[in-house]
Structure 1
Amino acid sequence: MKIVVIGGSGLIGSKLVNSLLQLGHTVIPASPQYGIDTITGEGLGEALKGADVVVDVSNSPSFEDRAVLGFFKRSTVNILTAAIYAGVKHHVAISVVGADRLPDSGYLRAKIAQEELIKESGIPYTILRSTQFFEFAGRIAEAATIGDEVYISPAGFQPIAADEAVSALAEIAVNAPTNDTVEIAGPVCMPMYEFIRYYLTEIEDSRQLVMDEHARYFGAELTDESLVPGETALLGKIKYEDWFQKQLETT
């Protein structure tokens, strides 16, 4: 099976490329680094020639509302157009658990726009909505920092190891499209505040953590239901504390 991974040089994309190669598939990592640009269309048609599946795990270089919406719309239209021309049989994309519940977030509005374009394209599809990855705790803390204080919501949060999201994506990619949306999350729901507290404590970060119900995440205030998956979600097995300690052991 020939599978094209859009965003194939990023955290999720590079892991997915390796996973699919290990399963014996022909895999094309697609990103500007490899001369394939979904915004300009450069190299895209050639990459998709003869492809059975395209998996889009790309992300916008800017999270500013207008820029991120423009990125996902243009990129997705270009991918879908090239995929239709190439006769691709399955379009897979990664999205975000709770994207439809946080309309105040420009980033998540852009992800919903991406999902709608995929659903309306006529290409058989599967969308995997994932919770946030363990790997991005530092980025969340950095985005929430004002001076020496880190303002974090106490809302429910169920992060997952990137490797487990990648495993789900690989399984989806090599199987028949569902024409549906699947959710995946980590095994433990916790307050986002506790997730970041653990991270800051373990790296001995001196910034003061502030619990703030009005703290924004991707531009939106959260409730306990905002980022938590439904009852039918796939659940990973790796707990954050165990994952984090393993990272410390390998560095």
Structure 2
Amino acid sequence: MRIGISSACFYPYINTEDTLEIIKETGADICEVFLEAECETTEEYCLSLKEKADKIGIDIYSVHPYSVSFEPFLFDRYERRRLEMERKFRAICRAGEILGAECYVFHGIRKTPDFPNIDNTAKGMDNLCKIAGEYGIKLAWENVAWCMSCSPRFLELVRERMKEDIYFNLDIKQAVRSGYSPESYIDVFKDRIINVHINDASKKSTCLLPGQGDIDLKSIVDRVKILNPDVPFIIEVYSENFTSYKELKISKEYMERLEEGE
């Protein structure tokens, strides 16, 4: 089982490029890079980041942008705005290509009281999948509490109408915050699940390091691995969820013991 750590764990205190050494010190050799600013999407920056990752021996599996600034507008009815946001989307795809990433973790449309037009959403997602494919990147749609992707039914309806291949990113804390079980998303994602943001939760907190909460992570891990044995489990929490880097290492080791059946 591949267990990694997201650079997002260190936001906003440590620059993205400086998180790689910390992640490596936990014993992880795979990570997700959260591109926190537009300057981090340039070719110059990404080439430097890739060089650094290769030097210390860490694989950048996925990229995740500061999506709230542009992803909701990728479906905008005002064409000029949509095309402008599409250029930002391409920049992230290009960044992922340079970094050698497998996938782009995507949020998409903000949550609304009613479902957006499903057919139009499916067409928009098809277009984005095609663009990502031009850069050798898979689009991994993430379940997010404040986005339409919080609804398993919405995801299912859109997927049924899509012509292109869409993939998925499961996030445990976002499932908890959405009021759905992680299993309800797995039922929709099936074998298209290619990334997992692994975290834990309790009655007091919706986001904890793996092993610090009440979620039956072993059953989730086992079920995901049946669908996709190669899927990585990326530890993604907030900086306030730990006080020392040692806790990240302990959490990673906890995940390793889950695989061993302990």
- Give the number of the structure whose residues are more often strand, by fraction: 1
Q: TM-score, with normalisation over the residues of structure 1? A: 0.39
Larger radius of gyration: 1
Q: If each structure's helix is expressed as a fraction of its own residues, which one has the higher value?
A: 2
Q: TM-score, normalised by structure 2?
A: 0.38
